[in-house]
Amino acid sequence: MKPFAGRFIERILQFARGRKSYRMDQNVEFTTKGFIGPGKGRVELLVALHITCKDGCIGNFGGKVAHILLHALLVGKCQARPFSREAAAFDPRDPEPHLAAAALHEKANRYSDAQQEYQQVLAVDPKSAQALVGIANIYVRGQRLTEARETLSKLVQQRPDYAEGRILLGRILAMDGKNDEAIGEFRAALKLEPTNAAVEKELANVYTNAGKHAEAQPLFETLLRTTPNDADVHYALGQSYMRQKKFPEAKEQFLTTVKLKPNYGAAYGDLAFAANENKEYELVIKALDVRAKLLPEVPITYFLRATAYDHLRAYKEASQNYHSFLQIAEGKFPDQEWQARHRLIAIEPKKK
């Protein structure tokens, strides 16, 4: 190590705030956590690095220092533009300073600058997964789903064994309503990472969105073996059962859902629907009454409550709910509206 480099590292260590050790190679180790402190110290470090880069007296080792400092800047507020140019000047073929600068730009919401940094990485390494993923994420932020999909498709073609690329592509395909293609990517990702519970959950959700509830069911059941207290998974499994007309099983999942998450308003509505199919009318009323405290009433909740009271021969309450249903149905539920009017004729006292 050249004398100036030694003095430079000493200067870095003077400003080190953290305790985590970072080993750059077998000979050099220094702290990085809390590296860039507030106030004067941060500016002095930036100036010191600028002078060092300008003099070029550290060589490749200086490039590593610049890379580490760029990552450290993610904690601070310094500008990345001049800094990244100086860091990259050590070795134009080194993608790391550009990747670090891109991350800093993204943190500061400078997505155009970040994309330029990623493009510089791709000029050196057209197959860089980090750069392709970074650009795809920027496209997604801008709702440019087609370009994001094309970028990630290129990545998985180049690296078919890269699970993260397939997962991200699956998400974008699902966002774009291309469920069958998304299923293919998530299944491919699971072959690469068979214990990835997050991917199992995403695949199950896409199966559900595609109406493939029989395929979603075993995935949700598997997830519950490792996360038995996940209310969202219980709810999703309940919906899967319900779509397959497995109403007793659906009811049990919805009951577990609201036990784990008592303010889960939507789950009470589905619990009422499953209970109605099971002819458990008292449970229908209880579930709908709790839902009404959490979410606004809608036509179908009034109708379900009315029919439940009707089956229990509580005609006064049934009549009230049939009327409430008809007041807001507005012709959107013709079959139920016909039934409500005819039941009101049957259960309300005849006017003399």
- 247-283 pLDDT, tens per residue? 999 999 999 999 999 999 999 999 999 999 999 999 9
Top mean-pLDDT range of 45-59, 141-155, 159-173: 159-173
More confident residue, 154 or 313: 313
Whether 323 is covered by a domain: the verdict is: no
Whether 236 is covered by a domain: the verdict is: no
Whether 326 is covered by a domain: the verdict is: no
How high is the pLDDT of residue 122?
80
Do 147 and 183 lie in a common domain? yes
What average pLDDT does range 39-61 have in this prediction?
36
How high is the pLDDT of residue 91?
53
Identify the band that residue 17 occupies on the pLDDT scale cut at 50, 70 and 90. very low
Do 6 and 85 lie in a common domain? yes
Question: Domain containing 9: what range?
Answer: 1-110
What average pLDDT does range 320-336 have in this prediction?
95
Six-digit token string for 181 = 């293609």
In the chain, the number of structural domains is 2
Which residues sit opposite 22 in a β-bridge?
A: 30
How high is the pLDDT of residue 351?
62
CATH number at residue 152: 1.25.40.10
* % the chain with pLDDT above 90: 48
Whether 78 is covered by a domain: the verdict is: yes
Do 132 and 100 lie in a common domain? no
Whether 177 is covered by a domain: the verdict is: yes
pTM score > 0.75 for this model? no
What average pLDDT does range 74-86 have in this prediction?
41
Do 105 and 138 lie in a common domain? no
Do 12 and 104 lie in a common domain? yes
Do 12 and 81 lie in a common domain? yes
How high is the pLDDT of residue 352?
55
Distance of CA 160 to the CA centre of its chain: 23
Per residue in 161-213, pLDDT tens? 888 889 989 998 998 889 999 999 999 999 999 989 999 999 999 999 999 99
How high is the pLDDT of residue 138?
84
Whether 56 is covered by a domain: the verdict is: yes
Look at residues 136, 134, 119 and name the one whose alpha carbon lies nearest to residue 175.
136
Q: How many CA atoms lie within 13 A of 52 on its CB side?
A: 29
Do 164 and 84 lie in a common domain? no
Per residue in 110-137, pLDDT tens? 778 888 888 888 877 787 788 888 888 8
Per residue in 19-36, pLDDT tens? 333 333 333 333 333 333
Identify the band that residue 141 occupies on the pLDDT scale cut at 50, 70 and 90. confident
Do 94 and 21 lie in a common domain? yes
Whether 338 is covered by a domain: the verdict is: no
Q: Over 80: is that where the pLDDT of 225 sits? A: yes
Write the CB contacts of 25 (distance below 8 Å, at least 6 apart in sequence): 64
Do 132 and 101 lie in a common domain? no
